Structure 1
């Protein structure tokens, strides 16, 4: 495979990044594939396969490569291996958004017609979503990974300076007892708490608004300095990250149309308080 093959572009996947780094360090250190193979106690054909994205590396191989190339302190291959594992367990669109877009966004705009946005979910609320999936139930360990991953995303809100977050939430979300009344009340209280954060604007779109443009599903718009805008479109079948300027502009227009129906910020907070009072009576 040629060195300029798209499969060796480290931007395409973690496995491609592993292959590119292995080839790079081997050439920088002027060592052959046979020499690397001897250090890993394997055949030269395996090293060739790793460099050409034809084999997935194992953790012990990544560790021994860091040792062989004198990278045990800064570590190069082990972190990439861990990213390969993440990509294997999570949809590529999810990894792309969580690792490459959301952490660097200066502005995030979300429309949430069905559930509280993932960035604002409590652990109990998220747990109910993951455990009640109609798909084949994942192992308990996998559920915990999904929940932890969602909770870790909140770190973006603690950045200095933080991103400006504008969330539009359908009023029906406040009255959908995901996990029961107690879980919903906890979730709504957290939503009200973060709504007072000056970097966060939460607006409730009333149920009576109709708001046909919002019926297409959940989406999030992201602005990242020096890069094209991006939109994450989510549905029951998964998600899709798009950076095409026309698609992003269409969703920005749809977002603005939905926002025109929303309650102002202060009124939205009162609507959340009213929902908390209602559901608290059922605990």
Structure 2
């Protein structure tokens, strides 16, 4: 079973706390780096979570800023937890960013998709068709299989005792596009109907008839966490790279856009009816 906490989220929290205590001390990053005997870039990398601070690094920082023993112990513990390995590190060649670690800790996942069934809801055959289509040239069967298995491992998130709530809004084109052939699509749509029966999963469809809407600029995900000190993160995946949005104003925009997309989407009941009709339109051939 995966750990009950995510090293990625702990690293993010530690980075935020170390930046806060430096700012409270009145020291600039340059002054802190000088007193610690570090480079300016090391301080920056630690405070933005791009580098994992070691417990020794955190102890040095606490000495510099005069952090009390209780707060010091908490920060050092965060550094230790941030260095633990999450389940996804077994697929480090597949999961190259920090998204899976953040997803692993989320209490609520709000997802708007325009092209594909979300990864957490994909069947094995559908995932294989998607992954093979996205590989350049002639796909390596072993590479495709490993990526599919990684996606299936990730999918178990929704069935854990502490599973997050998933609220997914899908463009109607997703349930019409015959990825993998009719039989694969029929089974995938049946899997969506089954997933929607879970108490922690909500699936709604944005119909073609909605016309122009708040999600036209592309898919995105907003991750929310159980602990208040961990603010929401918006995530946008693209060919040119992944973008993580953490500033309050920008995340608010994505939350607002998601709300407006929901306003334009079909109700849950209407959505499941449309998925069922789309499933029946795919033959068994």
- Asked if Structure 1 and Structure 2 have the same fold, meaning a TM-score greater than 0.5 normalized by the shorter chain, the answer is yes
- Listed as ranges, the gaps of 5+ residues in structure 1 are 25-76
Scaled by the length of structure 1, the TM-score of the pair is 0.69
Q: CA deviation at 1:112?
A: 0.7
Tell me how far apart the structure 2 counterparts of residues 199 and 240 of structure 1 sit (CA, whole Å).
26
Equivalents in 2 of 1:209, 1:147: separation in Å?
Answer: 33
**1:166 aligned residue:** 167
- What CA deviation, in whole Å up to 9, does each residue of 1:124-162 have, x standing for no partner? 111111111263455333222221221111122122232
CA distance in 1, matches of 2:247, 2:232: 8
> Matches of residues 124-163 of structure 1 in structure 2 within 5 Å?
124-133=125-134, 135-137=136-138, 139-163=140-164
- CA distance change for structure 1 residues 181 and 227 in 2, over 3 Å: closer, same or farther? same
Match of 1:98 in 2: 100
Q: Distance in 2 between matches of 1:162 and 1:265?
A: 20
What is the aligned length?
220
Q: Which segments of 5 or more consecutive residues in structure 2 lack a partner in the other structure?
A: 1-35, 58-82
**What's the offset of the Cα at 1:91?**
6.3
Q: What's 1:12 paired with?
A: 50
Q: Decide whether aligned partners of structure 1 residues 79 and 263 sit closer, same or farther in structure 2, where only a CA change above 3 A counts.
A: closer
The aligned runs of 1:19-38 (5 Å cut-off) are 20=54
2:111 paired with 1:114 = no
Cα pair distance change 1:240/1:78, threshold 3 Å: closer
Q: Is the 8 A contact 1:218 1:235 kept in 2?
A: no
What's the offset of the Cα at 1:267? Answer: 1.3
- Cα 1:3–1:147 shift into 2, 3 Å: farther
Return the offset for 1:215.
1.4
Question: Which residue matches 2:243?
Answer: 240
Conservation of the 8 A alpha-carbon contact between 1:217 and 1:234: no
Stretches of 4+ moved more than 6 A in 1? none
Contact 1:131 1:143 in 2 (8 A): yes
Aligned mates of 1:146, 1:188 — CA distance in 2: 21
Which structure has the larger Rg? 1
Question: Structure 1: how far apart are the matches of 2:116 and 2:136?
Answer: 18
Describe the shift of the 1:138–1:12 C-alpha distance in structure 2 as closer, same or farther (beyond 3 A).
farther
Match of 1:181 in 2: 182
In structure 1, the residue matched to 2:66 is none
Measure how far apart 1:272 and its partner are. 0.7
Measured in 1, the distance between the counterparts of 2:246 and 2:45 equals: 22
CA distance in 2, matches of 1:161, 1:90: 25
